[in-house]
Amino acid sequence: MPPTAFTPSIPSRPVYPGLVSRGATPALMLADAEGALALADLAASDPAVMDRAHLIYIPAGSDHGARLQALRPAQFHQAPSFATALPRLRKALADAHMGTVLYLAGTEGLIGQGLAEALAAGLPADAIQSEHRGSIARRMQCVHCKGVTEDVTTDPFTCSHCGLTLFVRDHYSRRLAAFQGVCVDAEAPGDIPETQEIRP
């Protein structure tokens, strides 16, 4: 599965330029699902990138764990979810030395949350790289109840917290690592357009 090609969008929507090795410097790597393949490609381009890498992987239904381990990162950890990876990620970010590079790979939800954590921990933006692979599902914040619904693949969708039917905007908050969902039938309750798959 190659890097995702997104259609150009509005300026708040993030772009994911892809991973480029900075060599055998201290590195943190965070990937979910097909993001593993981006790290594999990175290691193939420069095996030394793994020499001082701490790699955290969230399979999310995929099974690339063994393949990643075979790349021989300095440290490897597999976590069942982003929430369970978070304490370890925060510790690693807090311990990070000057010059540590963060490689993020996988879904937008993972990249966005990893980025928000890293910036909050004081990592400079130019030390953070990202590559999108796999599902184009979006992490959506309901503007009404503020609840976040993960893995949204349709427009409109149902808010998993308040139950309103929301349409999927491209407006994106890096602080929240989420797109904005807004009630689709606010003006004419019950008048809900046909559900469509989200496109890249």
Partner 1 sequence: MTIRFNDETFRDDYTFHNSPEAVRRFPFPFDHDSYMYSVNIEPHRRGQAGSVFQHRFDVDEHYIAEMRDREITLKDDPLRCQSLPHMELAGWDFLELVMTCKAEDYPDLFSLTRDGDRWHWINRPLGIDQRFTFLDATTLPCGPMEYITRQTQGDHALLDQREGNLWMDAGMITSQADWSLDFDIGMNFFEWHAPVPKAAEMGVFQRALKFLLNLQQGAPVRRLNWTMTVNPRLDTSPENYHKWGPEKRTLTPETVGAKQYLRVELQTLWRLPRSNAVAFPIRCYLCALEDIVTVPKWGRRLHRVLRDLPEELATYKGFSVNRPMIVDYLSKFDDGAPTSPGIFPDP
10 Å Cβ neighbour count for 49?
A: 25
As measured in angstroms, the least distance from the Cβ of 44 to partner 1 is: 35
Q: Give the closest residue to 151 by CA, choosing from 88, 117, 93, 198.
A: 198
Q: Give the closest residue to 118 by CA, choosing from 136, 103, 140, 132.
A: 103
* Whether 66 contacts 161, CB under 8 Å: no
Which strand (E) or helix (H) includes residue 108? Answer: helix 108-120
143 vs 198 by CB, closer to partner 1: 143
As measured in angstroms, the least distance from the Cβ of 68 to partner 1 is: 33
Which strand (E) or helix (H) includes residue 72? Answer: none
As measured in angstroms, the least distance from the Cβ of 1 to partner 1 is: 29
As measured in angstroms, the least distance from the Cβ of 104 to partner 1 is: 19
**Which residues of this chain interact with partner 1, rule CB under 8 A?**
10-13, 141, 143-144, 146, 164, 169-176, 180, 182-183, 186-189
Can you point out the beta strands (E) in the chain?
Answer: 27-32, 53-58, 75-78, 101-106, 128-132, 138-142, 148-152, 154-155, 157-158, 165-173, 178-183, 196-197
Q: Three-state DSSP class for 125?
A: helix
12 vs 154 by CB, closer to partner 1: 12
* Whether 110 contacts 104, CB under 8 Å: yes
As measured in angstroms, the least distance from the Cβ of 71 to partner 1 is: 35
9 vs 196 by CB, closer to partner 1: 9
Residue 156, preceding bond cis, omega within 30 degrees? yes
83 vs 186 by CB, closer to partner 1: 186
72 vs 174 by CB, closer to partner 1: 174
95 vs 170 by CB, closer to partner 1: 170
Q: Give the closest residue to 118 by CA, choosing from 100, 140, 141.
A: 100
As measured in angstroms, the least distance from the Cβ of 159 to partner 1 is: 11
